[in-house]
Each structure stands twice: as structure tokens, then as C-alpha cells.
Amino acid sequence: MPRSAYASDLTHGWRAIANFAIAGLVLALGLSFLQPLRYSSTVKLLILQDVGAVDAYTAGRSEERIADDLVTVIYTTSFYDQVMSSGFSIDPKTFPTDDNARRRAWKQSVDASVASGTGFLTITAYHQDPAQAEQLARAIAFVLTKHVSDYTSGGNVQVKLVDAPLNSKWPVKPNLMANGLSGLFLGAFVGALFAVMRAERVRRRHQLAHEE
């Protein structure tokens, strides 16, 4: 079928496309609101390692590798235990008592990433209470700055806090805008398929009618 026919089908089926798009938007937002709204608190850390007389590129790559290793460490049970026992005002009811459920909840509560080619480590903690999110972020930063030697094999490694916790003013999880747009476009896509298939059925009926 020529492209012009598809374009005509979509033009004539704009109401169906719009209805599906709106339905997708409403469904996506509805599912999003079923999840608890969570705020974020973000800290930035700098990994420093004294590796002697080496060039800046080699030193940077070494610090980036250490930062990558720390990202993996952050999601471990032992690190979680140190965070919870670090003395910060973290509500113990935040995490389930069941081991598997607690691990899943911990991974969903923390996001860590490394800036490519650097030793900059960004950590974001999430919680329904922004004050609790900040306490989590502070506790994670504290454990890394004070106990980095427990998690690194090389010596002369330091972790410095370069940006204090920055709390979000509004809930950031779930991402209502991203979810809404995804639902809108997915609904529009389904609507477009529906419009084309409906137009094709009409053409076939007309063709059969003429053949008879």
C-alpha cells in the first residue's frame, strides 16, 4: 500500500489516535501514583589516590576505577550495615526485616554513578520523607569518607565530600513526566496501528462488495 494511503488513514483516524494517547497517558499516571512518591538527596564525592610520579591520565584512570568499585560496594549488605550503624537518624522501619526484601529496597533507595574519566562519585538517596533521604545520603558519604580503606585494595586512597546533600523540592520518583510522556506516545502508537488496521478492514469490505 502506498505511503499516501497510510498518511490518509492516520489523518482520518486522528480521533482514535488522540483517544488512545489520552488513555495511555491516564493509565501511565495512574500506575505511577500507585507507587509511593519519593524525594531525593544528592551528594558528590571526589576519589583521590596518591600513586606517586605518574601522569595525570594514569592517575585519573586509577581514581575512576576505584570509584567504579565503590559503586558496586555501595549496594552490598555489608555496606548497608555500616550505613545503618553509622549513627545517623535513619528510620529503621525504612527497610524490611526480610533479607531479600531489604536488599531490593536498599538498591531502590540508592543510585550511584561515576563521571566518565574522573574520580567524581555522585550518590543519590531516595525516600518518601526528604529529611530521611538526606540522612541516608549523609550516612553513605560518611561511611565512604571514613571507611574507604575497608573497601579498596590500594593504599593512599581518600574520599572527600565536595558537594553537601542537595534535596529535591518535589518528588522525583516515580518520574511522572517521563512516565506520562511514555504512556502518551505508546498510546498514540497503538492508536495509529488501530486506525490503519480499521481503514484496511474497511477497504477490504469495499473490495469484497465490488467483487460480488
- Provide the pLDDT for residue 153: 73
Q: Within the chain, which residues score under 50 in pLDDT?
A: none
In this prediction, residue 136 carries a pLDDT of 97
- For position 140, what pLDDT does the model report? 97
How do 157-167 and 39-49 pair as beta strands?
A: antiparallel
pLDDT at site 108: 92
Residue at grid coordinates 545520603 = 137
Looking at the structure, give the CATH architecture of the domain made up of residues 39-167. 2-Layer Sandwich (3.30)
pLDDT attached to residue 116: 86
Nearest to 127 by CA among 103, 105, 97, 100: 105
Which residues are CB-neighbours of 119 under 8 A, at least 6 positions away?
A: 46, 47, 48, 49, 60, 63, 64, 66, 67
At residue 183, what are phi and psi to the nearest 5 degrees?
-65, -40
Instruction: Give one DSSP letter per residue of 111-148, joined into a string.
Output: EEEE-TTS-EEEEEEEESSHHHHHHHHHHHHHHHHHHG
pLDDT of residue 11: 76
Q: 91-124: buried (b, 16+ CB within 10 Å) or exposed (e) per residue?
A: eeebbeeeeeebbeebeebbbbebeeeebbbbbb
Q: What is the pLDDT of residue 100?
A: 94
CA distance 207 to 212: 9
| pLDDT on residue 73 | 94
Hey, where are the domains in the chain? 3-34+175-211, 39-167
What was the pLDDT predicted at 212? 58
Residue 111's DSSP bridge partners are: 124
